[in-house]
Amino acid sequence: MDKIKPLTISNIASFGALLLSWVSILFLLDDKFYLSLGTMLLAFIADTLDGWLARKLKQESDFGRQLDGFVDIFIYLLYPSLVYYLHFKFQDLISVVILYIFIGAGVFRLVRFNIVGYIEKKFTKSYPGLPVFFSYLTLLLIFLGSSVLKESIFQVFALALILLQSVLMVCNFLVPKPKNSWPLVVILIMTSIYLFYLALT
């Protein structure tokens, strides 16, 4: 059995993402939505960088992969579910069941990925099923929908999107891995700064 080295730079980035996730959840529980979401986007950035650091510094390990998967549960599954429950008030029985399905499907997808890894075809690495980080695209669409849809229609729209993502996460279709994550990192940084500005004004 290989010696576990938990305090590599890449793993520290993962633990940093976990810390930021915890802080963002505390802000959410304190009803500070913009501050919470801005902090969680920083966790998203740290989670994006940990894999890049592991590859660049040759620190890839089974421990790091498992750690990354567990942290992903907080960033991409638990946090969006809490936003839906606490901020958007999806607290009826049907909503709670759908949120559970969302979390369960996401955990299934993460466990499957930890076992099978990327699927390589024609020199292209692909994810099996929809990656969990698409939960933030779903959250964005729901956030936009909240400002343009009537309340009665909005919740049906939002829950349908959440359920659709849940199904797509457990499917077997392939999603190509992005070759360059830096544009996403820049967008996340700018969005996070804007959210902090909204929180402080």
pTM of the shown model: 0.93
pLDDT at 2: 55
According to DSSP, the residues that pair with 129 across neighbouring strands are: none
First to last CA, the chain: 53
Per residue in 102-111, pLDDT (tens digit) is 999 999 999 9
Average pLDDT along the chain: 94
The answer to which of 25-39, 51-65, 67-81, 91-105 has the lowest mean pLDDT is 51-65
Q: Give 160's pLDDT tier (boundaries 50, 70, 90).
A: very high
Per residue in 61-79, pLDDT (tens digit) is 889 999 999 999 999 999 9
- Dist. CA 107–CA 118, nearest whole Å: 17
pLDDT at 1: 47
Q: Which domains are delineated in the chain?
A: 9-200 (1.20.120)
- Dist. CA 9–CA 7, nearest whole Å: 6
Burial classification of residue 89, based on how many CB atoms lie within 10 Å of its CB (0-12 exposed, 13-18 middle, 19 or more buried): exposed
- Dist. CA 33–CA 196, nearest whole Å: 10
- Dist. CA 16–CA 193, nearest whole Å: 18
